Amino acid sequence: MFADHTLETAPPAARPVMEAVAHRMGGHVPPAVARMAASPELLEGFMTLTAMFDRTTLDPVSRETVIMTVATRNGCQVCVDLHTRKLRALGAAPAVVTALRDGTPLPDERLDAVRRFVDTVYATTGEVADEDLAAFLAHGYTERNALEVVMGIGAYTMSTFANRLTRA
């Protein structure tokens, strides 16, 4: 149902965002972006929010742990595949990548604390118990990081839902 828009077929308001993505990706517009372009507001909102998430104080592998936890939880295979490549490019240990893809315990306690925290935020719809927050903080994360995790959950829940809806 959802078209893979091109720069020529996309709604005019989506074209600047698509052009920026194409520029960053050597002229390629991924199907997820091409389909999200049906809603310029969604596309721009997602791209803006993800750029902001990338600027958070969470380290890159912790951010990818948030993203992969959301992607696997929400069954977004295109997201899992894309962020698997990103984790590998970041030099994440193969056992970490495998565990994130499979939902098995992470061999890195600090990253496992991120995944458990994401799961707890979802399970409690944000009403995280003090002891669960303390467990996250005990691994060197901060209250700011906890809020940044919520930001990542929001951005990537939007993405995974849109990708599944559009069959990206």
Both 46 and 96 in a single domain?
Answer: no
CA-wise closest residue to 128 among 114, 115, 146? 146
**What is the domain count for the chain?**
2
Q: Could you tell me if residue 38 is inside a domain? A: yes
- Shared domain check, 151 and 114: yes
Judgement on whether residues 121 and 44 belong to the same structural domain of the protein: no
pLDDT digit string (tens) for 101-152? Answer: 999 999 999 999 999 999 999 999 999 999 999 999 999 999 999 999 999 9
4 in a domain, yes or no?
Answer: no
Range of the domain at 161: 60-166
pLDDT in tens, 47-77: 999 999 999 999 999 999 999 999 999 999 9
- 45 and 64 together in one domain: no
Identify whether the C-beta of residue 27 lies closer than 8 Å to the C-beta of residue 129. Answer: no
Confidence at residue 91, expressed as pLDDT on a 0 to 100 scale: 97
> Does the residue 1 lie in any domain?
no
* 93 and 161, same domain (yes or no): yes
* Tokens, residue 7: 């720069």
Q: Give dist(CA 130, CA 74) in Å, integer.
A: 26
- pLDDT for 27 equals 93
- One domain for residues 69 and 126: yes
What is the reported pTM? Answer: 0.96
> CATH no. for residue 132?
1.20.1290.10
Same domain, 97 and 151: yes
Confidence of residue 29 (pLDDT cuts 50, 70, 90): very high
